[in-house]
Amino acid sequence: MCEILSTSTKKIDRGLKMQIYARENVGHLWFVDPRKRTLELFKLVAGVWVPVRLLSDDALAAAEPFDAAPFPLSRLWPER
C-alpha cells in the first residue's frame, strides 16, 4: 500500500488506516510526504508495523515489494 500524506489526512493515514491495513494483512506500507520529500517504508511482521527505512530527496528507492524496479525519489517531487 502507498499513501500520499497531506496535512489534512496524515493522522488518519498513520492511525486508523495503518490498523486496517495490518488487520487485512497488507505486507508493506509506504508513506510518501511530498512536503518533506520523504518516503517511509514499513513491513508487517507478526501483525505489527516495523519501520524499514526512511529515504529522502533524490535517494534511490529499491525497496520491497518493488525492489526489482528501483527509481530515484526525485521523480516524485515537483520541481522547485
Q: How many domains does the chain have?
A: 1
Mean pLDDT of the chain: 92
In a domain, 7, yes or no: yes
Reported as a single tens digit per residue, the pLDDT across 2-58 is 999 999 999 999 999 999 999 999 999 999 999 999 999 999 999 999 999 999 999
CATH code of 12's domain = 3.90.1570.10
In a domain, 60, yes or no: yes
Report the share of the chain in percent with pLDDT over 90: 76
67 contacts 40 by C-beta, under 8 angstroms: no
Question: In the chain, what are the helix, strand and coil shares in percent, each to the nearest 5?
Answer: 20, 40, 40
In a domain, 79, yes or no: no
In a domain, 80, yes or no: no
Domain range for 53 = 2-73
